[in-house]
Chain A
Amino acid sequence: MFVTAAYAQSTTTEGAETHDAAAGEVHTETGVAHEGGHGSGVFPPFDSSTFASQLLWLAISFGLFYLLMSRVVMPRIGSILETRHDTIARDLDDAARSKAEADAAVAAYEQELATARAKGNVIAATAREAAKAKAAADRTAVETSLNDKISAAEARIADIKAKALADVGSIAEETASAVIEQLIGGKVSKAEIASAVKASAK
């Protein structure tokens, strides 16, 4: 607006000079015209006989215009602008509130997700712990039973071995007496053989 006004200003000053020149030129012609044309020798805008009527009608029309503007038109335009301003402000508020709600919903969702994830982790951990404990218990049970079996077996082996070792002496004595009988055809007393076996077993 101001650029236009400034531009217009410069144009008018130029224009005004033209006007002045033209107006000066005109005055002579005006004088002549008056004598012929209108009868009254006054330049019409300066004809004071019309002033009273012009003032009255200007007061009436401008007064009415002022009243219409200040009572009807301006409050109306003002209210239109205000309504628009309020509507825009309200819409912006609504939008801001909706955004806040959406943000809250997102936050709640994130929160729930985190809780669920934590819960899941807990459940998984518990299950893992339980499984681990069960496995450990099972293993211990199996190991215990195996150990029992092993020790039982070892006991038996030891028993058998002891028995076998106990038998070895008598077998050797019998074998020795049989061998001696075959070799020399005589009998050797049991006691001698037994002492000899014992001596060789040492």
Chain B
Amino acid sequence: MAGDKVDPVHQFVVNKIVPIEIGGIDFSFTNASLFMVATLAVAAGFLYFTTSTRSLVPGRLQSVSELSYEFIASMLREGAGSHGMKFFPMVFSLFMFILTANMLGMVPYFFTITSQIIVTFALAIFVIGTVLVYGFYKHGLGFLNVFVPSGVPGILLPLVISIEIISFLSRPISLSVRLFANMLAGHITLKVFAGFVASLGTLGALGIGGAVLPLIMTVALTGLEFLVAFLQAYVFAVLTCMYLNDAVHPGGH
């Protein structure tokens, strides 16, 4: 253990479990893949089995499933109106998937799939792609109204439109980097402070006394990270609702 004593980045390394190569491209089943499947199994399994009795008066676990359903439903209805409800399965899946992935990542030795930029970027592109495809399919070129805020004086329009376009283009980046960076930074910080506890602990009595501070910090950060894990899933879902609102009502700024 002395060689890689405390390497806070080691937890993000993707290891191959079952090497698969198709057409010269590496599609190996890795630890990341394993936790994607685990996220799928845990989230889907929870939602499936807690609602399997279909009780009229729900138990605690069934209430959790129903509350998350109604939570996302009201979020989407407020964010994108009743026309946006056709995206309910998408937003619900995104929220539950990210939330479960973030929470699983909090378990020690578990891989956090949302700390991989490619994963969060793929999810963000999925959202923005849906907005673009649906927006152009539904409104044709009228979707471009999304770049033209109403009530802006004509002389400012070129400036405002270019700002709107830049902000639209930066959405997939901000959406993915926000989730990725929060999870990455949180896990690194936890690891670093936990590492301090271990390294100070080897320095004798004084070191053990000094290790109390980073230990307290680690405990506090763990609590904070659970909050961040929920909050980032929530933020991702809320922003998805807002972006979908553009696809549903392009002129409604």
Q: Which residues of A contact B (CB under 8 A)?
A: 1, 5, 8-9, 11-12, 15-16, 18-20, 22-23, 25-26, 29-30, 33-34, 36-38, 43-47, 49-62, 64-66, 68-70, 72-74, 76-81, 83-84, 87
Q: Do A26 and B8 form a contact, CB below 8 Å, given A47-B14, A61-B40, A69-B44?
A: yes
User: On chain B, which size bracket covers the interface?
Assistant: 35 or more
Given contacts A37-B7, A70-B89, contact A54 B185 (CB under 8 A): no
B: residues with CB less than 8 A from A are 3-4, 7-10, 12-14, 20, 25-30, 32-33, 36-37, 39-40, 43-44, 47-48, 51, 54-56, 58, 62, 65-66, 69-71, 88-90, 92-93, 96-97, 113, 115-119, 122-123, 180-182, 184-186, 188-189, 192, 224, 227-228, 230-231, 234
Q: Are A22 and B119 in contact (CB under 8 A)?
A: no
Q: Which of B10, B29, B90, B96 contacts A57 (CB 8 A)?
A: B29
Q: Are A1 and B71 in contact (CB under 8 A)?
A: yes
- Residues on the B chain within 8 Å of A60, using CB: 36
Question: Cβ of A22 and Cβ of B192 under 8 Å apart?
Answer: yes
Given contacts A53-B28, A62-B36, are A8 and B117 in contact (CB under 8 A)? no
In contact, A61 and B39 (Cβ under 8 angstroms): yes
By the criterion CB–CB under 8 Å, are B14 and A25 in contact? no
Chain B residues near A78: list those with CB within 8 A. 69
Q: Cβ of B180 and Cβ of A45 under 8 Å apart?
A: yes
Give the interface SS of chain A, mostly helix, strand, loop or mixed. Answer: helix
Whole-angstrom distance between the Cβ of B124 and the nearest chain A Cβ: 12
Of A11, A19, A25, A70, the contact of B186 (CB 8 Å cutoff): A19
Which residue of A has the minimal Cβ distance to B116?
Answer: A45
The answer to whether A74 touches B89 (Cβ under 8 A) is yes
Question: Chain A nearest CB: distance from B241 CB in Å?
Answer: 14
Q: Nearest 3 pairs between A and B by C-beta?
A: A19-B185, A70-B89, A57-B33
Question: Considering only CB atoms, which chain A residue lies closest to B37 in the complex?
Answer: A61
Report Cα–Cα, A50/B111, bound state, in Å.
14
Complex Cα–Cα for A65 and B36 (A): 10
Say yes or no: B224 contacts A15, CB within 8 Å: yes
Task: Kindly provide the distance from the CB of B30 to the nearest chain A CB, expressed in whole angstroms.
Answer: 6
Query: Is the CB–CB distance between A22 and B189 below 8 Å?
Result: yes
Partner among B30, B56, B186, B192 whose Cβ is within 8 Å of the Cβ of A54: B30
- Residues A70 and B93 in contact in the complex (CB < 8 Å), given A55-B122, A81-B69: yes
Which of B20, B90, B118 contacts A66, CB < 8 Å? B90
B36 touches A61 (CB 8 A): yes
Contact A69 B96 (CB under 8 A): yes
Contact of B32 among A54, A68, A76, A81 (CB under 8 A): A54
